[in-house]
Amino acid sequence: MRIRTCLTSCSLTLIACSLTFTAAPARAQSFPDKPIRWIVPYPAGGGSDFLARTIGQSLSEDIKQSVVIDNKPGGNTAIAASDTARAAPDGYTVLSADNGTMVFNSALYKKLSYDPVRDLAPVTLLGRFPMILVVNPASDIKNLKDFVEHVKSSNGSINYGSAGAGSPHHLAMELFKTEAGLKMTHVPYRGAAPSLTDLAGGQVQAMMVDLAAGAGFLKGGKIRPLAVASARRLPQLPDVPTFAESGYPNVEAAALVGMVAPAKTPTDILASLNKSVVAALNKPATHKKLVEFGIEPVGDTPEQYSKLLEDERTRWHKLIKDLNITLD
């Protein structure tokens, strides 16, 4: 009797294990079977919105499901991040998360409505928006050396604009200021567009801007590029040197926009999302469209994106703390 009971118990255990191992592949194979909600923490029309809508359209065609873009701006991306963190961890809610969401906010705010490490799971880095130092073309500043000399001789009277306090544009300039030993006054705006308008009009003297936001101003000659904060020159601006070429090798900065999901999303669903999104991003037509807009498409693994975020937190949290930058 004891032998029979033991055999029955072992059989049930084997069946349970078998069901556990087969459930994950079956779940991943059926995903997705309904529309995906893709939250963007900025208003429609900006670079992050363009990135999500471009990839989302390609993704929708591949998975035969709707990809609904939900713009939820506010709180330096915290409103959208909190909404995502509270969503069901089933792969049907994802978020476009940038440096602010995943790196800066946890150092800039003493109290934050979400935890980027505990509450959000990386899916893939979608793209980079490299930063470019630009000035008003009416100035006598022709290159980075001229700019540094001009700022140092101005005794702190130079103002620089940004897309907002705590934005990648703001912190990229703070990084450069630290590396070059410069004193400038930060003038934050609500977005890159009004900052660019005031730069072109002479109300501020400089700013860091990404190519996607500044392309129209650059093409129209309304702003002058001095250096790009990337490892290589940008193909769209082949004559503009990198900061490294100009003597500042540590000045590399970009808005990094990736996809994240609620933290408890099963790993097989995250893997399925990653595979589908990266495939959609790498379609030649989609890739070309993003590059033409000024975005460097990436598409990596969850592990690679997670490691990048860890490295970025180490680098930027130190700068933020050293400069005592806070937003609350």
Domain assignment present for residue 11? The answer is no
Instruction: Tell me the two tokens of residue 46.
Output: 């900006």
- Do 264 and 196 lie in one domain? The reply is no
Domain assignment present for residue 152? The answer is yes
- Do 124 and 266 lie in one domain? The reply is yes
pLDDT of residue 127: 97
Domain assignment present for residue 155? The answer is yes
Among 174, 208, 228, the domain-final residue is 228
- Do 159 and 224 lie in one domain? The reply is yes
Domain assignment present for residue 110? The answer is yes
Whether the pTM exceeds 0.85: the reply is yes
- Do 142 and 113 lie in one domain? The reply is no
Contact 72, 46 (CB under 8 A): no
- Do 156 and 183 lie in one domain? The reply is yes
Closest of 93, 30, 147 to residue 260, by C-alpha:
93
Question: Residue 304 in 3-state DSSP?
Answer: helix
Question: How many separate domains does the chain show?
Answer: 2
- Do 140 and 112 lie in one domain? The reply is no
d(CA 156, CA 89): 49
Quote the DSSP letter at residue 222.
Answer: S
- Do 115 and 161 lie in one domain? The reply is no
Rg (CA), the chain: 23
Instruction: Tell me the two tokens of residue 66.
Output: 């709707």
Name, in order, each residue with C-beta under 8 angstroms of 39's C-beta and a sequence gap of 6 or more.
70, 71, 72, 80, 83, 84, 93, 94, 95, 96
- Do 45 and 124 lie in one domain? The reply is yes
- Do 314 and 272 lie in one domain? The reply is yes
Per-residue pLDDT of the chain (328 residues; tens, 9 = 90+): 444 444 444 444 444 445 454 445 555 568 999 999 999 999 888 899 999 999 999 999 999 999 999 999 988 899 999 999 999 999 999 999 999 999 999 999 999 999 999 999 999 999 999 999 999 999 999 999 999 999 999 988 999 999 999 999 999 999 999 999 999 999 999 888 899 999 999 999 999 999 999 999 999 999 999 999 999 999 999 999 999 999 999 999 999 999 999 999 999 999 999 999 999 999 999 999 999 999 999 999 999 999 999 999 999 999 999 999 999 8
State the distance between the two ends of the chain, measured CA to CA, in whole angstroms: 70
* CATH number for 283: 3.40.190.150
* CATH number for 185: 3.40.190.10
Domain assignment present for residue 246? The answer is no
pLDDT of residue 122: 98
Domain assignment present for residue 288? The answer is yes
Domain assignment present for residue 244? The answer is no
d(CA 220, CA 134): 13
Closest of 91, 98, 94 to residue 125, by C-alpha:
98
Domain assignment present for residue 238? The answer is no
Residue 197, number of CB atoms within 10 A of its CB: 15
Range of the domain at 136: 130-228
Contact 131, 253 (CB under 8 A): yes
